[in-house]
């Protein structure tokens, strides 16, 4: 396949952007700077890299981001910075969207993809994909609060939350693992117990963890992570 097609099919670079990157010598094939956008590559065996990051051939793009505070989980917003603002320009304009929402003040793992089916499946409560968060509450929470939240609470809007799991760290903090993602769910669960979440960070999504991704950093998913997320082997 042509090198420019390799990038354009995956919606990473348009053909003209591919030519520009080649001029800047930011694309390598098997460690050598690519010479022309029409050069033929073996998309499954050649190692193609863009700005030092190996790009695997895949019809879809899967990205992990460690969200800082102050960004909204949306593709665009009139007044706020969005998680897409943390990606390089060449990745932002090709239909990526966050898989689920973290609040503006919530930190941690966000998955960005253009694979709507896998994103939908990962978020479906029927699939029971576990999302784990580190939290701190303003006031101490007791074992009665823990048990009530874990069993499910009927919130002010009448919705009863699905059972979840809390692992205590200390009187104020712990890990909470949910298999659904209702609006402000963790904040509302603690709110229903007259407490307030003051720190919230998603540390894993299913089998995919934050690892050593620094705050504000992103990277492409590994093959194992893609398999874990899509449920398909060899989506490439």
3-state secondary structure of 58: coil
Cβ proximity to ligand URA: between 31 and 156 the closer is 156
Segment contacting ligand URA (CB under 6 A): 9-17, 109-117, 162-170, 183-191? 183-191
Residue among 10, 96, 102, 111 that touches ligand URA (CB under 6 A): 102
Catalytic residue from among 20, 46, 77, 103 = 103
Is 193 among the residues that bind ligand URA (CB under 6 A)? no
Smallest separation (angstroms) from ligand URA to the CB of 102: 4
DSSP 55: -
- Give yes or no: 103 in active site: yes
d(CA 204, CA 214): 14
Smallest separation (angstroms) from ligand URA to the CB of 105: 8
DSSP string covering 143-182, please? HHHHHHHHH--B-TTSPBPPP-EEEESSSSEEEEEES---
Is 200 among the residues that bind ligand URA (CB under 6 A)? yes
DSSP 68: P
Asked if residue 53 lies in contact with residue 38, where contact means CB atoms within 8 angstroms, the answer is no
Q: Residue numbers of the site for ligand URA (CB under 6 A)?
A: 102-103, 106, 184-187, 200
């Amino acid at each position: 396949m042509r090198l420019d097609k390799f990038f354009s099919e995956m919606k990473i670079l348009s053909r003209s952007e591919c030519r520009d990157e080649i001029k800047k010598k930011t694309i390598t094939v098997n460690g050598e700077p690519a010479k022309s956008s029409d050069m033929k590559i073996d998309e499954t065996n050649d190692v193609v890299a863009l700005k030092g990051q190996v790009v695997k051939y895949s019809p879809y793009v899967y990205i992990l981001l460690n969200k800082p505070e102050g960004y909204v989980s949306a593709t665009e917003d009139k007044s706020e910075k969005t998680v897409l603002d943390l990606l390089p320009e060449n990745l932002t304009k090709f239909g990526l969207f966050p898989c689920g929402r973290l609040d503006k003040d919530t930190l941690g793992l966000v998955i960005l993809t253009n694979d709507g089916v896998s994103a939908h499946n990962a978020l479906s409560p029927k699939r029971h994909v576990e999302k784990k968060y580190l939290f701190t509450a303003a006031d101490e929470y007791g074992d009665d609060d823990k048990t009530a939240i874990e069993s499910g609470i009927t919130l002010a809007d009448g919705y009863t939350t699905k059972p979840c799991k809390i692992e205590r760290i200390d009187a104020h903090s712990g890990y909470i693992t949910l298999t659904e993602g209702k609006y402000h769910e963790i904040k509302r669960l603690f709110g229903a117990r007259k407490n307030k979440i003051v720190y919230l960070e998603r540390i894993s999504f299913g089998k995919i963890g934050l690892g050593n991704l620094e705050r504000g950093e992103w990277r492409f998913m590994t093959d194992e992570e893609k398999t874990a997320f899509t449920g398909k082997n060899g989506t490439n």
